[in-house]
Structure 1
Amino acid sequence: MDLFDDLPEPTRTSGPVLTAEHQTTTKEEREGRGDERRLKRKRDDVMSVAKERTEVKKVCREGVPVLKGYVAARRGEREEMQDAHVLLPDMSDRLSALPAQVSRVSFFSVFDGHGGSRASSFAAENLHQNLVKKFPTGGEVENVDKLIKKCLLETFRQTDEDFLKKASSQKPAWKDGSTATCVLVLDDMVYVANLGDSRAVLCRLESSPSPSEGPRRSVTLALSKEHNPTIYEERMRIQRAGGTVREGRVLGVLEVSRSIGDGQYKRIGVISTPDLRRCQLTHNDRFILLACDGLFKVFSADEAVKFVLGVIKEDTVAQTDELRFEAACQQLASEAVKRGCADNVTVILISIDY
């Protein structure tokens, strides 16, 4: 699997394109000397191209995976639930127009607040709305990866700026902050943008073995990168900005080195620029797991994936896949609390079905 920190420009996609003949008119036509038959032929050609595009898009739709989202949230021993989340299995109807080669857009996110719930709630309410406003729309888009990268970076920047503006206008000023882990899916291409220590992982099954080799084994693939001040690059950025890292925290207080909000730390190197990665889904992929650090304090990523697989493989009479995934999501969050996690726990499970 290829993961990209800096998304490359993709190669040109195959399919019908307008030739120079269709895009421009001749000198005679501009001067009004073109005959009616030539104009009619041009209209017929353009209609033919449009028809071919529609047919190509229909073929793409047939291979698009069906995604369904499930969520479980537990307060743990905290006085307040500071996590927030968003589930939009089909966000297409919120967009004014999709790029011609895209048939469906999905969006899922989890936000882990600290210092209060206002930053996480604000991000859950506004980040996907900013994404909709900045999303590339309409026509043949050749550099989809490049445009999505730009869109996500601007979306996170705008959301952070809007929250900081609101926070600073309060009396007293809000000091809340939040992590953000977001999964944006265009047909079968997954884009992950994250800040802080919430995580996203993918469960991929190995190719079908021979009957003698037993069941297919699972592989856990990391789709996100944690940001904390103990990481060399993060610590160096904070120190260059005049901050310090003590006991693994910014100024001995903040556990993450990137976040939405945390206005008091922005001047010393805590940023809202997300790590960006992408991954193309395959028929071997079973689900994506998003969760705040409350889960991963008591589960390794591989343990969490195996726990989910164990639940959805249970042979319960008359139980649908939807019920199995819902049960797996709820049981995983509850098990985290049973294992002693005192933090808030939010788990999002995204099933992948072809």
Structure 2
Amino acid sequence: MKYISNNCRLYYIISPQKIGMGIYLSSPKTEKFSEDDENNKLRYGLSSMQGWRATMEDAHAAHPDLDASTSFFGVYDGHGGKVVAKFCAKYLHQQVLKSEAYSAGDIGTSVEKAFFRMDEMMRGQRGWRELAALGDKINKFTGMLEGLIWSPKGGDGNNQVDDWAFEEGPHSDFSGPTSGCTACVAIVRNNQLVVANAGDSRCVISRKGQAYNLSRDHKPDLEAEKERILKAGGFIHAGRINGSLNLARAIGDMEFKQNKYLPADKQIVTANPDVNHVELCDDDDFIVLACDGIWDCMSSQQLVDFIHEQLKKESKLSVVCERVLDRCLAPSTIGGEGCDNMTMILVQFKKPIRSCSFADEQSSQTISANTESSREEKRI
């Protein structure tokens, strides 16, 4: 008997020979989904690749014109299945827009509420139906085909009544998916950048060529995460919550959120994001959002350096992203690193944003002194 890690969860396999049939393919899928777009304030490129994994469980969202003054970008890394990541890619930015806090100009509060709202929306009949529509032909929750008779509603625009909790049906008591996903999103409005993160996907900014982490990787061994996990009745074994999940925060994973006496931010696993506010200036070159398939292979500074080198000879940002994916792809599955799904969004700011002030220099010095990450990466 042997332990094998399937993305974020731990499974048993009978023998090493079964790796190629289950977790990894015999050869990687290197076809990429890529796109580029821009507006008058920024341009972006993105690329995603399945790689060695048997399925593609990453998802992403890129909306350069979320509204007249705001851009939204997000990466979602699924574990135990793809449906939660796809659900977030479809709905999370919509919930940011619908929030009263957003209408009042409070982007940070609106995105925090949207993370929690994903868990709420995935419960009950409509949550079950939407997940079934986004999933495989045989619905993973019952193992039957009955979910296919429920067709997804068209549109789901912002002007529709938010009646998720009131739809009736045979799965009205559905408590939510046991699979989950990380979420790392960046919202740009004028010279303001708001980054929200739950899990180990990561957002990094290049400021004068120096990499600064705008998010923290939420691993169970972080002191604050460990304290919450233990207080909620969980345990940590071999770096994994209850011996299973190697993330301390995620959307979905409802099996870890069943304590009725605790609020959502105090559960064993929580969707509660860290929210970081950054004031952009002309020293800021670009931001990168990527799932851990990238960060397992390159440090934040290594990736920023690689991007700068590529930008000297390539103007199309999606091509730069594709080269990062090719650079990270492992030649074989022996080592494990470079074998995950990979998704990356590169956002470049059009100058000038605003001139950098003395306060920005002080901010950079403060950032440089803040090295909480276990890899000693610099963080804003």
Query: TM-score, normalised on structure 1?
Result: 0.69
Identity of aligned residues (%): 32
The letter for the 2-side match of 1:226 is D
Encode CA deviations 1:188-241: one digit per residue, 9 max, x unaligned: 100000000000000111xxxxxxxxxxxx111111111110101101101111
Point out where structure 1 has 5 or more consecutive residues left out of the alignment. Answer: 1-63, 94-103, 206-217
Q: CA RMSD in A?
A: 2.0
Q: Which residue of 1 aligns with 2:210?
A: 219
Q: Does 1:232 align with 2:207?
A: no
8 A contact 1:201–1:223 mirrored in 2:
yes
Name the CA distance, whole Å, in 2 between partners of 1:274 and 1:137.
16
Q: Does 1:83 align with 2:58?
A: yes
Name the CA distance, whole Å, in 1 between partners of 2:190 and 2:211.
22
How much does 1:286 deviate?
1.0
Q: Which residue of 1 aligns with 2:80?
A: 115
Q: Which residue of 2 aligns with 1:202?
A: 205
8 A contact 1:287–1:351 mirrored in 2:
yes
Encode CA deviations 1:231-259: one digit per residue, 9 max, x unaligned: 01101101111100000010111011111
Q: Say which of 93, 98, 108 aligns to 1:149.
A: 108
Q: Which residue of 1 aligns with 2:121?
A: 162
Q: Say which of 71, 91, 105 aligns to 2:70.
A: 105
Q: Say which of 247, 250, 261 aligns to 2:252.
A: 261
Q: CA distance change for structure 1 residues 137 and 345 in 2, over 3 Å: closer, same or farther?
A: closer
Q: Which residue of 1 aligns with 2:298?
A: 299
Query: TM-score, normalised on structure 2?
Result: 0.64
8 A contact 2:76–2:184 mirrored in 1:
yes
The letter for the 1-side match of 2:275 is L
How much does 1:296 deviate?
0.7
How much does 1:171 deviate?
2.5
Name the CA distance, whole Å, in 1 between partners of 2:299 and 2:216.
15
Q: Does 1:334 align with 2:346?
A: no
8 A contact 2:81–2:180 mirrored in 1:
yes
Point out where structure 2 has 5 or more consecutive residues left out of the alignment. Answer: 1-38, 133-140, 144-173, 259-266, 332-336, 352-380
Name the CA distance, whole Å, in 1 between partners of 2:79 and 2:112.
22
Q: Which residue of 2 aligns with 1:179?
A: 182
Counterpart of 2:320 in 1: which secondary structure? helix
8 A contact 1:65–1:187 mirrored in 2:
no
Q: Which residue of 1 aligns with 2:161?
A: none
How much does 1:68 deviate?
1.4
Encode CA deviations 1:84-114: one digit per residue, 9 max, x unaligned: 0001111115xxxxxxxxxx10000000000
Q: Which residue of 2 aligns with 1:24?
A: none
Counterpart of 1:200 in 2: which secondary structure? strand
Encode CA deviations 1:253-279: one digit per residue, 9 max, x unaligned: 101111110000113510111000011
How much does 1:124 deviate?
0.5
Name the CA distance, whole Å, in 2 between partners of 1:295 and 1:273.
23
8 A contact 1:65–1:352 mirrored in 2:
no
8 A contact 1:311–1:327 mirrored in 2:
no
How much does 1:66 deviate?
1.6
Encode CA deviations 1:8-42: one digit per residue, 9 max, x unaligned: xxxxxxxxxxxxxxxxxxxxxxxxxxxxxxxxxxx
Q: Say which of 241, 254, 262 aligns to 2:232.
A: 241
Name the CA distance, whole Å, in 2 between partners of 1:122 and 1:137.
21
Q: Which residue of 2 aligns with 1:8?
A: none
8 A contact 1:164–1:263 mirrored in 2:
no
How much does 1:136 deviate?
4.4
Counting strand residues as a fraction of each chain, which structure ranks higher? 2
The letter for the 1-side match of 2:94 is Q
How much does 1:137 deviate?
6.1
Counterpart of 2:114 in 1: which secondary structure? helix
Name the CA distance, whole Å, in 1 between partners of 2:345 and 2:329.
16
Name the CA distance, whole Å, in 2 between partners of 1:240 and 1:287.
39
How much does 1:135 deviate?
5.3
The structure whose Rg is larger is 1
8 A contact 2:101–2:109 mirrored in 1:
no
Map 1:33-48; keep pairs closer than 5 Å: none
Counterpart of 1:84 in 2: which secondary structure? strand
